């Protein structure tokens, strides 16, 4: 970027911001940033020579050429105010990503659910092509959420939550599904649909679209750039059939334009992950990746952290998963059901009052595959409860025969201690429930009464 030598990230510990900071650092830019508290990612950033200020103060903004800020940063943030006062160039996270991405052969993965897994799959099976990678989770293969490659291929997770994906101009894109979410930003489903239409228009070569989602299927004839994929509809350009669960693998036959390609097996559980895989296989073949290499990568693929992340397994299994939207929760429960276990206990932390308000009716029947449901207090993410919702209203809407509200970690540990049968505990949510799952796994590993 011309004239840009030093950049500052407000909110640098966020998963998207930290990834961009790493890429900027790898490009030779001088990088600094700030956040309100230390996280695990802070140490990694500092080990790369990136200065991280803990606490956001106007004094942190010194001589920099550009300030990048996340959507969580408001105009009353002291660093935001200081940068404005100094007439420093300021851009949003999505804009900065686009500045890097749009110069490359960009592959953008969008959708309400499955973006991180699909981006991780695309990155992993294309690794021999040395892509630049930007993913919304920690990909074990690179032990990071970002990597600068040597080729012109740039694979990035595209965020529709605040329409920042519309800064991107991909060569290729994958759309996994389209549903109601982040209505506090979008206002209506019609607005979400229009955003995805704009995203399709901005894709130069091909849009690989999943038609197993009704809302996405409605757009399948929208543009002649669209290639469809499916795990149920053989009319799709790309489809899978003969899907079988064998031990801890899911196997399937892949067809492209009615031509049999090969039989593949994927290590991560859940039929929805076959769907996530097949569009990426199509693109990887297009990029010249050998089929045998794709097969080997899929068979050994470990998903990004917090995507059916098994933290402990010895009679009791502790799974950490990012699922927070009703559709994601349902898919995670279905994946758990495919594994051999006597009992499934879903531990769910609702995320944001606004999300719960807008999606409340969609929680009906979502937990039916769980033998028992535990609801934790709502993680507010800084929101005030002006929406008139609470955990009790959610419990009534879920209407499960065995459901309880539990305050926190110790109550769950006591429940685990009483457990006498093979049980999978699914910890789901986008708040701090992951830390609870990790803490409990550590306690169980150290035989704290279990």
Q: What is the pTM of this model?
A: 0.84
- Tell me the average pLDDT across 143-156: 94
Instruction: Name the residue ranges covered by the structural domains of the chain.
Output: 6-91, 102-300, 309-445
| pLDDT value for 130 | 97
What are the φ and ψ backbone dihedral angles of 323, each rounded to 5 degrees? Answer: -50, 125
- Residue carrying the six token digits 């903004």: 61
| pLDDT value for 414 | 86
Q: Does the structural domain 6-91 have CATH classification 3.40.50.720?
A: yes
Q: Which fold has domain 102-300?
A: 3.40.1190
Least confident range from 28-37, 69-78, 92-101, 108-117: namely: 69-78
The residues near 215 (Cβ < 8 Å, ≥ 6 apart) are 177, 178, 179, 189, 193
CATH number listed for the domain at residues 309-445: 3.90.190.20
Note the helical H segments in 178-305.
183-186, 189-202, 214-217, 271-286, 291-300
Known catalytic residues are: 115-116, 157
- Tell me the average pLDDT across 307-335: 89
Distances (CA, A) of 190 to 121, 179, 290, 358, 376: 30, 10, 40, 15, 32
Please say if the pLDDT value at position 184 is more than 80.
no
- 387/280: higher pLDDT: 280
Residue 231: band (very low, low, confident or very high) from pLDDT cuts 50, 70, 90 = very high
Distances (CA, A) of 106 to 97, 171, 318: 11, 5, 36
| pLDDT value for 90 | 95
In the three-class reduction of DSSP (H, G, I as helix; E, B as strand; rest coil), residue 383 is classed as: coil
| pLDDT value for 448 | 53
Do the strands 66-69 and 6-10 form a parallel or antiparallel pair, or are they unpaired? parallel
Q: Is 111 flagged in the annotation as binding?
A: yes
pLDDT digits (tens, 9 = 90+) for 335-349: 888 877 889 999 999
pLDDT digits (tens, 9 = 90+) for 189-215: 899 999 999 999 999 999 999 999 999
- Residue carrying the six token digits 């995507």: 307
- Tell me the average pLDDT across 89-115: 94
Q: Is 132 flagged in the annotation as binding?
A: no
| pLDDT value for 430 | 87
| pLDDT value for 450 | 44
pLDDT digits (tens, 9 = 90+) for 243-259: 998 877 899 999 999 99
Q: Is 112 flagged in the annotation as binding?
A: yes
| pLDDT value for 449 | 44
**Number of Cβ within a 10 Å radius of residue 257:** 11
Q: Is 38 flagged in the annotation as binding?
A: no
Average pLDDT, the chain: 91
- Tell me the average pLDDT across 285-304: 93
Please say if the pLDDT value at position 9 is more than 90.
yes
**Cβ proximity of 9 and 21 under 8 Å:** yes
| pLDDT value for 67 | 96
Report residue 255 as tokens.
Answer: 């067809």
């Amino acid at each position: 970027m011309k004239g840009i030598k030093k950049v500052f990230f407000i909110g640098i510990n966020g998963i998207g911001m930290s990834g961009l900071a790493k890429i900027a650092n790898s490009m030779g830019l001088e990088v600094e940033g700030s956040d309100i508290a230390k996280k695990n990612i802070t140490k990694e950033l500092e080990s790369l020579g990136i200065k991280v200020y803990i606490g956001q103060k106007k004094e942190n903004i010194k001589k920099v050429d550009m300030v990048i800020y996340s959507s969580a940063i408001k105009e009353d943030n002291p660093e935001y105010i200081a940068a404005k006062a100094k007439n420093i160039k300021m851009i949003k996270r999505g804009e900065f990503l686009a500045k890097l991405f749009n110069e490359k052969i960009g592959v953008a993965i969008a959708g309400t659910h499955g973006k991180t897994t699909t981006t991780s799959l695309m990155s992993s099976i294309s690794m021999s092509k040395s892509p630049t990678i930007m993913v919304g989770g920690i990909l074990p293969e690179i032990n990071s959420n970002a990597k600068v490659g040597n080729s012109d291929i740039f694979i990035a997770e595209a965020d529709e939550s605040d329409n920042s994906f519309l800064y991107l101009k991909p060569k290729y894109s994958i759309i996994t599904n389209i549903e109601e979410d982040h209505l506090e930003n979008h206002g209506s489903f019609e607005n979400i649909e229009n955003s995805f239409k704009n995203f399709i228009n901005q894709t130069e070569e091909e849009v690989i679209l999943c038609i197993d989602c009704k809302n996405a299927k409605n757009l399948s004839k929208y543009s002649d750039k669209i290639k469809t994929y499916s795990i149920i509809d053989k009319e799709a350009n790309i489809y899978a059939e003969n899907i079988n669960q064998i031990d801890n693998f899911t196997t399937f036959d892949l067809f492209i334009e009615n031509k049999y390609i090969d039989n593949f097996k994927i290590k991560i559980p859940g039929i929805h992950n076959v769907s996530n895989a097949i569009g990426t296989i199509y693109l990887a073949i297009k990029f010249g990746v050998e089929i045998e290499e794709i097969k080997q990568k899929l068979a050994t693929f470990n998903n990004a952290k917090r995507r059916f992340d098994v933290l402990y397994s010895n009679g009791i299994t502790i799974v950490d998963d990012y699922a927070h939207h009703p559709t994601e929760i349902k898919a995670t429960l279905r994946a758990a059901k495919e594994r051999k276990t006597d009992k499934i206990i879903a531990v769910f932390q609702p995320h944001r009052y606004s999300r719960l308000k807008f999606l409340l009716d969609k929680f009906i029947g979502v937990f039916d595959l769980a033998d028992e449901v535990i609801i934790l207090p709502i993680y507010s993410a800084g929101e005030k409860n002006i929406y008139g919702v609470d955990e009790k209203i959610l419990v009534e809407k879920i209407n499960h025969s065995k459901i309880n509200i539990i305050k926190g970690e110790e109550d769950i540990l006591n429940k685990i201690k009483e457990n006498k049968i093979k049980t999978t505990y699914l910890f789901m949510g986008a708040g701090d429930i992951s830390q609870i799952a990790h803490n409990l796994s550590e306690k169980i590993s150290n035989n704290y009464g279990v």
